[in-house]
Amino acid sequence: MATSPRTGGASGAGTAQRPNGTSQNKSCQFKLVLLGESAVGKSSLVLRFVKGQFHEYQESTIGAAFLTQTICIEDTVVKFEIWDTAGQERYHSLAPMYYRGAQAAIVVYDIQNQDSFQRAKTWVKELHKQASPNIVIALAGNKADLSNIRVVEFDEAKQYAEENGLLFMETSAKTGMNVNDIFLAIAKKLPKNDGANNQGTSIRPNGNETNRPTNNCCK
């Protein structure tokens, strides 16, 4: 007895660990994927949200970048596992690997580019058809700092979002406008029960799920 570290005495008890599960300490983990045409600012939005930075010349994403960001809303800690995907059309067939199993998606378009808005609509359609049915989708009209040369009207996009049950904001990765807000809005909308917590733990999509052939998913 005397030789074991047990002889420490009372002070040791102070380090006893507190158990988990105090009610104010709920935490959830969600997989979020960014989709949208090439060069609409997906990576810039993530960079602004995660690091508070903006690069005028953001390199084109060839692949899928993975970043995490945690925010607190009310008494819940929400950790986003963000997959920022490549927008180039040739990588389209790989997108299901990233939105499969995602609890949230931000579909991004550029308010100066009508095509990118149309492309966003097809992404939304594809998500509704093939992503998990409870996925929370937000539509982001990015580059809102350039609203004087916009071609996609705010009201038009807003109406589309309402009709399709999407969250909608115009954002600017450059100025930071609405960037945190859109993630926060998503976090608020996500179900934060235990089920969601468990679901959200799969960081990496794995190929075991049987899904349709990866090529040409979006018809």
Binding site for other proteins (CB under 8 A): 1-19, 21-22, 24, 50-51, 62-72, 77, 86, 90-91, 93-94, 97, 204, 206-208, 210, 213-216
Q: Which is nearer to other proteins, 3 or 148 (CB)?
A: 3
CB of 85 to other proteins, least distance (A): 9
Q: Which is nearer to other proteins, 68 or 118 (CB)?
A: 68
What gap in Å lies between CA 59 and CA 18, rounded to an integer? 45
What gap in Å lies between CA 126 and CA 122, rounded to an integer? 6
Q: Which is nearer to other proteins, 151 or 203 (CB)?
A: 203
Give the three-class secondary structure for 140. strand
Q: Which is nearer to other proteins, 52 or 165 (CB)?
A: 52
Return the structure tokens found at 142: 């990015």
- Burial profile 179-188: b = 16 or more Cβ within 10 angstroms, e = fewer: beebbebbbe
CB of 183 to other proteins, least distance (A): 13
**What are the backbone dihedrals phi and psi of residue 2, each rounded to the nearest 5 degrees, phi first?**
-65, -25
